[in-house]
Structures are given as structure tokens and as C-alpha cells.
Chains A and B, each alone.
Chain A
Amino acid sequence: MAGTWTIGRKIGLAFAALVALAMVIAGVGVYGLRRVVAEEEHLLSVHAQAVREAQQLHVSFERKIAEVRGFFFTRDDHFIDLMRQGRTAYLAMLERLEKDVSTEEGRRRLAEIKAAEAEHQDGLDRAIALLKNKEEPEKVAGLMRRELAPGRERIHQRFLEFVAMEERQLDEAKADAAAHAASAQSWVAGATIAIIALAIAVAVVLGRAISHQIGTAVRQVQGSSTELRAAATQQATGTREQSGAMTEIATTINELLATSRQIADSAKRVAAIAEKTAAAGRSGDEAMRSALDAAAGIKRQVDTVVTHMLDLGKRSQQIGGVLEIINELAEQTNILAINATIEAAGATEAGRRFAVVADEIRKLADRVSGSTREIRGLIEENRAAVHTTVMATEGGSKAVDAGMREFKQVAAAFGDIVTLVGTTTDAAREIELSTRQQASGVEQVNVAITGVAQTTRETEASSTQMLQTASQLSGLATELMKLVQPPASA
């Protein structure tokens, strides 16, 4: 798990360990110092205080003695009161000293002092009573020699012994404090040595770990810088190509812009032409309607002609029927004339004259028959002409009908043309407007393309700069690698 730790974490952990050790050392030092200080305070507060209070107690005892001595010289009871007050203070100090003394020996010696003082006070009281009773001075002096002076000396000796004991205990406490201080110094020194050793170990381990980790990172940086250099090279190449493409696009956009303007102008001209065309279409529509009316009149006339021609055909048929009758009569006359001629051929002179007449009749009948054939031919030609005329007229009527339908279709087409031309005009105007908007958009695109081209050139410069930076980074990585992991040959 430690292999995945970051360098900062490892360094932090090492510093934390060092700080912990330093805190231990500081704790040990503080502990030793406090102990020394406590012992010093104990010495000062207990033993030194006891020595000082013992000395004050001794002074208080001597003051009580001095008050008693004043009574002895003056016989003034005031000194008795002062003695009582001095003893009260003495006992209070003794009691306080008993509390401050911590050793059994000290309390025993104080009890001895207290008992000696009580005994001495009893001697003083009896001496004072002797004086107040005005006894013999010798008696008082004897008492003082026998009891009071030795008692005072014992008390004084006891005080000295107590002070000596306290001073001895003070020296012992000093020795203990010195020993504790030395022990604390030893602990601090050992902990310091341990910290130094641990710091060295941490430094070695951390150095190796960081070197390994930095080496790995540097190798990755080398690889990345190599890839980055390749990518920068590729990007620079691509950016140059993109710059060229942008230039071509800008050129094309300019051409497109020019084309859009031409289209807009053309659309405008188309709109103008379409308006003229619409006007021409409306005129053509009116002309077509007039022509349609004229064609309707022609159709009526043609229908009339057809009716008359059909009537003429019927009349011709009727003439043909009459002519058939004439022809039949001529034929019968001819037959009769032929028979008359035959009959007259073998007759007498009168018969021959009749034959002449019959011959003339036959000739007339022949001529009538010939004329009838001519008339029949003419009638047939007339009928054929009428038929042809009727057919042609009917064809003309049909053509007129077809023409009228065509006219109507053309008129409708003209209407459609007018509508479509109107639509074309609107479309041309929309095209003109759209093309102008397109031209405006193309100009904006051109500006944007110019900006993109500028950005591309800047990107190209940045790519070159990045390539240089990648090269420098690769060199720095190599140098850093040399620093972290020296070459095996070195």
C-alpha cells in the first residue's frame, strides 16, 4: 500500500514520525524538567521552609526569653503579657511547622522541642511566681541554674539538630533532583539519538522511495514529452495544412461571395424580366380571349357554311334524281328512235323520210343522253366538291373546335403563365433577398474564416512553441533522470 502513496504523503508521514519523536523527546524533557522543578520546589517549600521556620521559631523562643528577662529586671507584668503573647506566637509557628514537616523524624524532633519548651515554660512560670512572691533571689537564681539554663540549652540544641536534619534532607533532595535531572538528560539524549537515527532511516527510505517514484514519473514524463513532441509535430503539420485549407476556404468564400452577389443581381434582373413577362402574359391572355371570341365567330360561320353545303349537297342529289329521270327519258327516247330507225329502214319513201326524222330524234336523244351524262358528271363532281367542301368544312369546324380548345388551353396556359410568372417574380425576389442574406452570411463566414485562419496561424505558432517546449521538457526530463538515477557507468 505504501507504494501507492504520494511523495507529499510519504514526506508528511516522515515529518509526522519525526514530530512524534520530537514530541516524545520534548515530553521526556518536560517531564524531567518538571520533576526537577517539583523537587526544587519541594526542597524550597518543605525543607527550606522548615529550616527558615525553625530559625524563626528559634527567634520567637529567644524573644519570649527576652520578655521574661525584661520581667526579671523590671518586675513589670507587662513583660509577662508580652511573654504570653510571644509564647502564643511561638506555639502557632510550631504548630504550622509541624504541618509543613513531612518526615517522621522531623515531627519527632519538633515534639521534642515542644516538650522541652513546655518544660522550660514551666520553669519560667515558677521563677516568675517566685519573683512575684518576692522570694529570695538566690532561690530564683538557683532555679535558673538548675532548670532554666539547661532547658534553654536543650531547646537550643534541639533546634540545631532539627535544622541540621532539615538541611540534610535538603541536601538529599537536591541530590535526588540532580539525579532526576541527569536521568532526564539521559532520556532526552537517547531520544535525540533515536530521532536522529530514525530521521536518517526515514531519509534513506524516503529518498529511495521518492527517487524511485520520481524516476518512474520522470520516465513517464520522458515518454509523455516524446509523445507530446510527436503530437506537437503532427499538430504543427496539421495546423499548417489547416492554415492552407483555411486560405483556400477564404478564397472560395470570396468567390462564393462574388457569385452570391452575381446571383442576387441576376435574380433582380429575373424579377424585372418576370414582371415584364407577366405584363406580356396578361396582354397575351387578353389577345387570346379576343382570338377565342373571333374563333367562336368563325366556328358559327363555319357551321353555317356546313349547313349550306349540306343543303347544297341535298339539292345536288335532288338534281341528280331529276337528271336520272331525264336520262331515263333520253334513254327511252333513244330506244324508241333506234326502233323507229329500224322500222323505217326497210319501209317506203315515206318510211325513209320517217327514218330521217327518227334518226334526228335518235341523234337528239343521243345528245340529250350525252348532255345528261355530262350533267351527271358535273353533278357528281359538284357532289364530290360539296362532299369535299363539307368534309373540309367539317374538318375546318373540327379544326376550329380544336383551335378553340387549343385557344382555351392556351388562354388557360396564359393564365397559368401569368400566375407562374407572378410566382416566379415572388420567387426571384425571395431568391434575391435570400441571396443577399446569403451574401451577408457569407461575409460573416468570411470574417469568421479570417479569424479562424488567424487562430490557425496562432495555433501553428503555439504548436511550434509547444514542440520546442516538448523538446525542452524532454531534455529536462533527461537531466532530472540523471539527477535522480545516475547512469550505471558513473
Chain B
Amino acid sequence: MSAESGRIDELRRTFDSAFASEPAAPVERVDLIALRAAARSYAVRVSEIAGVVPFGGAVPLPCEEPAMLGIAAVRGTPLAVYDLAALVGDGPARAPRWMLLSAGADRVALAFDELDGYLRIPRDQLVAAAPEHGAKATFRPVELARCGDSLRPIVSVTAVVRELEQRLGPPAGPPSKEK
């Protein structure tokens, strides 16, 4: 039996068992999106984002914030696009390909280079970040996610959006649907 056929069998058993077994007891886990910005690995909480969409470019706007790339349309809604790497202090993104959308009413888009995947780790795998892991005090990650033998800083999208609001005022986002 070759290794590939063993893997196929394993995949088939896992897939079948997903239908056969009961849903697992809820374990307190944390869902993260693993990404890379400016050649550094980060993670963001899934609960703090509204989605991940491809970055198809942004229309530049005059702005005091140097991390702002411009305005991009996402599903017909214009959003302000910021460079995540520039915000966390690692410099401009090399070739942003994806954008993550912040959750909440004041939605912004944060562009990054590569999407490493979806992480679901136990909460006890989160550790507090040391002071040296943050480039800027404002966007300094305060937690680290242990992924195997490595530690991946967790960027708080909520904190980033809040800081932007404090700097620039409320974003001129799309009018609220309730309005």
C-alpha cells in the first residue's frame, strides 16, 4: 500500500466520521486567520472580521494617514483600505493581495500580502505578548497564538479600527442601512 492510498483512506475516514459522529462538545477555542504582511506572520481573530476578500486595487485619496491605500468597492460598498503592515509598523505591504473586512458598523478594509490559512486553537494556546513584539504602541499586539513551535502575534482589528477613528474621526463609511 502506497503512502498516497493511505492518505486517501485517512481522508475518507475523516470525512465519513464527520457525518457519523455527533458534534463535539463545545470546547472553548479561538478562531484565527493566519496571514503575512510585509513578510511577517500575524493572526487576527475571526470574530473581529466580517470577511476576507481579494484586493483588486484601491483609488487613492488625499489623507493624512500614510497607511491609507485608498477607496475600494466591496460588494457594491466603498470602503477605506489601509495597509495592515504599515499600521503595525512593518512598513508598506509588498504586494497586497487580500483584504480583511473589519466587523462592526464602521467597517474598514485592511490589506495584507498572503493568507496562510484558518486557525482554530484552544484558548489556552494564547499567550501574552512581550513588549518587544509591537512596533507601535498603538497597534502593538498584546497576545500571541502558539502554532506548533512558533508564536504568531495576534493583531486586534477592533483596536486598529478604534485607533483609526480616534485619529481620523469616524470613517466616511457607507450610510447605515437603518438610516
Residue positions of A touching B, CB distance < 8 A: 331, 334-335, 337-339, 341-343, 345, 356, 360, 362, 364, 366-367, 369
Contacts and interface: CB of A to CB of B under 8 A. Distances in A.
Contacts of A366: 117-118
Contact of B51 (A343, A362, A369): A343
Nearest to B14: A363
A334 B117 CA distance: 8
Interface in B34-56: 46-47, 49-54
Contact of A342 (B18, B50, B54): B50
A191 B15 CA distance: 186
Closest 10 CB pairs of A and B: A339-B51, A338-B118, A338-B52, A342-B51, A335-B52, A362-B118, A342-B46, A360-B18, A366-B117, A339-B52
Nearest to B23: A356
Interface in B1-19: 11, 15, 18
A334 B51 contact: no
Contacts, number: 39
24 contacts: A331-B115, A335-B53, A335-B54, A335-B98, A338-B46, A338-B51, A338-B52, A338-B118, A339-B51, A339-B52, A339-B53, A341-B46, A341-B118, A342-B49, A342-B51, A342-B52, A343-B51, A345-B46, A345-B47, A356-B23, A360-B15, A360-B18, A362-B118, A366-B118
Contact of A338 (B18, B33, B54): B33
B108 to A, nearest CB: 16
Chain A contact residues: over half helix, strand or loop, or mixed?
Answer: helix
B11 A367 contact: yes
B13 to A, nearest CB: 13
A364 B118 CA distance: 12
Q: What DSSP secondary structure best describes chain B's contact surface?
A: strand
**Size range of the chain B interface in the assembly:** 10 to 19
Nearest to A357: B18
B90 interface: no
B31 interface: yes
B82 to A, nearest CB: 19
A342 B18 CA distance: 20
A362 B15 CA distance: 12
A343 B103 CA distance: 11
Interface in B153-179: none
Given A356-B23, A366-B118, A345 B52 contact: no
B118 A334 contact: yes
Nearest to B120: A359
Nearest to A332: B54
Contacts of B115: 331, 334-335
A342 B117 CA distance: 13
Nearest to B49: A342
Contacts of A364: 15
A342 B53 CA distance: 12
A457 to B, nearest CB: 108
B7 to A, nearest CB: 9
Contacts of B11: 367
Interface string B92-127: 000000100000000000000001011000000000
B31 A345 contact: yes
A331 B47 CA distance: 21
Nearest to A366: B117
Contacts of A369: 117
A343 B52 CA distance: 11
A473 to B, nearest CB: 126
Most chain B beta-carbon contacts within 10 A, residue among A335, A337, A342, A367: A342
A485 to B, nearest CB: 137
A368 to B, nearest CB: 10
A399 to B, nearest CB: 36
A227 B65 CA distance: 133
Contacts of B51: 338-339, 342-343
B99 to A, nearest CB: 11
B95 to A, nearest CB: 15
A157 to B, nearest CB: 211
A423 B162 CA distance: 101
A345 to B, nearest CB: 7
A364 B46 CA distance: 19
